[in-house]
Amino acid sequence: MNVDRQHIFLPWTVQEQEDPVLEFVRGDGVYFYDRQDKCYLDFLSQLFNCNLGHGNHRVIEAIRNQAEQACCISPQLLTEERSLLSKELIQLVPGDLDKCLYVNSGSEANELAFIMARMMTGRPKIFAKYRSYHGTTYGTLGTAGDPRRIAVEPGPPGCVRFFDPYCYRCDFKLEFPDCCIHCLDALETQIQLENPATVAAIVVEPVTGAAGGFPLPEGYLKRLRAICDKYGILLIADEVITGFGRTGKWFGVNHENVIPDILVLAKGLTSGYIPMGAVVVRSHMSQYFESRMLPIGGTYAGNPIATAAARACLKAYQEEDCVNNAQKMGALLLKKLGELKECHPCIGDVRGQGLLTCLELVRDRVTKLSLTDSSNNASLARLIRRQAWENGLHLLARGNLILIAPPLVVNTDQISEGIQKLDHVLTWLDSTLKQQ
């Protein structure tokens, strides 16, 4: 029996089209179960956030113990858990990032990062890639380039979008590395045309998440850091998805040893067990706000249960060697996805970093004709997702993309199991396309 959803809105969807909806009952490790006790391999970590898998006893116990002491404390009061969490985070983040501001989600964290950047620089503009997603608040949705921004357009003032380093479909018709990362040359020209004195920050994901699933090419982030320094622009690293081992290092910026001015965190911070986000800033920013009002915050920001869960997650990541496992299993996953590509003509590109991977689906590999257009974008993705559920597999199908991001505790057998299930889904897709 399906749960009655008469009074429930489902996000990011046309309500009448989402029927039936998968009903989650319980989870265990990299698996979860519906009401009929059917088992699903969670090849998405729910929504890129359940890094430790389901039912981690360390995190559950931390939540239980803290709930018995105190559940809610004003964010203006100090707690031992929040203090210890901040110290532990600062030991993990790169460079001179030295102060944390807690919120309840990645959307809030990016929103506050934009506010802080504008306050400190006195400049109005935030640059974001066309293929990017940074949250669902008015400010974040309106700033990012994701098509979901259309709902809030014209959006907030001061948002400027630039072309992505989308190597599979380069907007400049060039090939990496011969291109010398031309898209950054174009970005610098755009900054000059917009007037650098008006640009507060540039926000990027080290690996684009739901908006494309592609990593930044080697050298991109380091050069972007240099461009920001040249014009006095703050660099915001949105690591809501990529943080806490997802890419095979603690943070995506670690791959190029780049220090952002603002590091935005959520999802893996608590492994999705409790809502929580964080903004971590460099010392020059924390010093700036020492003598100035910080007019942002939230009632539930840094609440004791969330901070206790986050501390337990950090300990689990370290003691269970999750970051190294993500690197090893990510390499295996990419290898096996590449093997699938050889068997399924619908796969145009395989890409990713660590346990954040993506398949881009095409009708023709030579022309790279997309599998979807504006008329069937959502419907085909919905069919792929349902076919995956039929095969006991949970993933994200969006447009012509299939995004795969298993929990960081996944093992080789579970990777093989997921690939086998995905093979069945792609076989169905190949057959469906032949009939069209």
Of 272, 291, 319, the residue that ends a domain is 319
240 domain-assigned: yes
The average pLDDT across 108-117 equals 97
Query: Binning pLDDT at 50, 70 and 90, where does residue 377 land?
Result: low
Q: Are 161 and 155 in contact (CB under 8 A)?
A: no
Q: In sequence order, which residues have a C-beta less than 8 Å from that of residue 436 and are 6 or more positions away?
A: none
> Is 125 in a helix, a strand, or coil?
strand
Of 291, 319, 347, the residue that ends a domain is 319
Q: In sequence order, which residues have a C-beta less than 8 Å from that of residue 170 and are 6 or more positions away?
A: 176, 179, 183
How far apart CA 375 and CA 122 sit, in angstroms, is 43
pLDDT given at position 11: 84
Q: Are 326 and 248 in contact (CB under 8 A)?
A: yes
Q: In sequence order, which residues have a C-beta less than 8 Å from that of residue 62 and are 6 or more positions away?
A: 308, 309, 311, 312
Percent pLDDT > 70 in the chain is 98
Query: Binning pLDDT at 50, 70 and 90, where does residue 82 land?
Result: very high
The average pLDDT across 172-200 equals 96
Q: Are 72 and 65 in contact (CB under 8 A)?
A: no
- Ranking 171-180, 234-243, 270-279 by mean pLDDT, the lowest is 171-180
Same domain membership, residue 246 and residue 214: yes
How far apart CA 136 and CA 151 sit, in angstroms, is 10
Say which DSSP state 309 is in: H
- Ranking 48-62, 73-87, 225-239, 303-317 by mean pLDDT, the lowest is 73-87
Same domain membership, residue 165 and residue 28: no
Same domain membership, residue 51 and residue 77: no
272 domain-assigned: yes
Same domain membership, residue 312 and residue 226: yes
Same domain membership, residue 87 and residue 25: no
- Tokens matching residue 393: 């597999």
Same domain membership, residue 30 and residue 94: no
260 domain-assigned: yes
- Tokens matching residue 432: 């469906």
| Mean model confidence pLDDT for the chain | 94
94 domain-assigned: yes
Same domain membership, residue 374 and residue 308: no
pLDDT given at position 149: 87
In this predicted structure, the answer to whether residue 1 has a pLDDT above a threshold of 70 is: no
Of 319, 334, 366, the residue that ends a domain is 319
Say which DSSP state 2 is in: P
Same domain membership, residue 351 and residue 298: no
In this predicted structure, the answer to whether residue 249 has a pLDDT above a threshold of 60 is: yes
pLDDT tens column, 286-310: 999 999 998 888 899 999 999 999 9
pLDDT tens column, 31-48: 999 999 999 999 999 999
Is there a cis peptide before residue 154, judged by omega within 30 degrees of 0? yes
E strand map for 365-435:
369-370, 393-394, 396-398, 401-404
pLDDT tens column, 319-343: 999 999 999 999 999 999 999 999 9
7 domain-assigned: no
**The model's pTM:** 0.95
Structural domains counted in the chain:
2
In this predicted structure, the answer to whether residue 270 has a pLDDT above a threshold of 90 is: yes
99 domain-assigned: yes
CA 222-224-227 angle, to 5 degrees, is 115
Same domain membership, residue 307 and residue 173: yes
The average pLDDT across 374-392 equals 84
Query: Residue 123 sits in which domain range?
Result: 58-319
pLDDT given at position 434: 80
Same domain membership, residue 305 and residue 383: no
- Ranking 7-21, 221-235, 275-289, 331-345 by mean pLDDT, the lowest is 7-21
Q: In sequence order, which residues have a C-beta less than 8 Å from that of residue 97 and are 6 or more positions away?
A: 90, 259, 260, 263, 280, 281, 282, 283
- Count of residues in the chain: 436
Amino acid at 247: T
Beta-ladder partners of 264: 238, 279
| CATH at 416 | 3.90.1150.10
pLDDT given at position 29: 97
pLDDT tens column, 140-161: 999 998 888 888 888 889 999 9
Q: How far is CA 183 from CA 24, 144, 411, in A?
A: 42, 18, 37
Same domain membership, residue 354 and residue 253: no
pLDDT given at position 19: 65
- Tokens matching residue 118: 């504008």
pLDDT given at position 373: 73
E strand map for 148-241:
159-162, 199-204, 234-238
pLDDT given at position 352: 97
In this predicted structure, the answer to whether residue 424 has a pLDDT above a threshold of 70 is: yes
In this predicted structure, the answer to whether residue 378 has a pLDDT above a threshold of 80 is: no
How far apart CA 433 and CA 436 sit, in angstroms, is 5
How far apart CA 393 and CA 408 sit, in angstroms, is 17
Could you give the dihedral angle defined by the CA atoms of residues 170, 172, 178 and 184, in that order, rounded to the nearest 10 degrees? -90
3 domain-assigned: no
> The tokens 């009632």 sit on which residue?
299
- Ranking 17-21, 32-36, 100-104, 419-423 by mean pLDDT, the lowest is 17-21
| CATH at 117 | 3.40.640.10
pLDDT given at position 3: 64
Say which DSSP state 301 is in: T
19 domain-assigned: yes
pLDDT given at position 295: 87
Q: Are 112 and 296 in contact (CB under 8 A)?
A: yes
Same domain membership, residue 218 and residue 102: yes
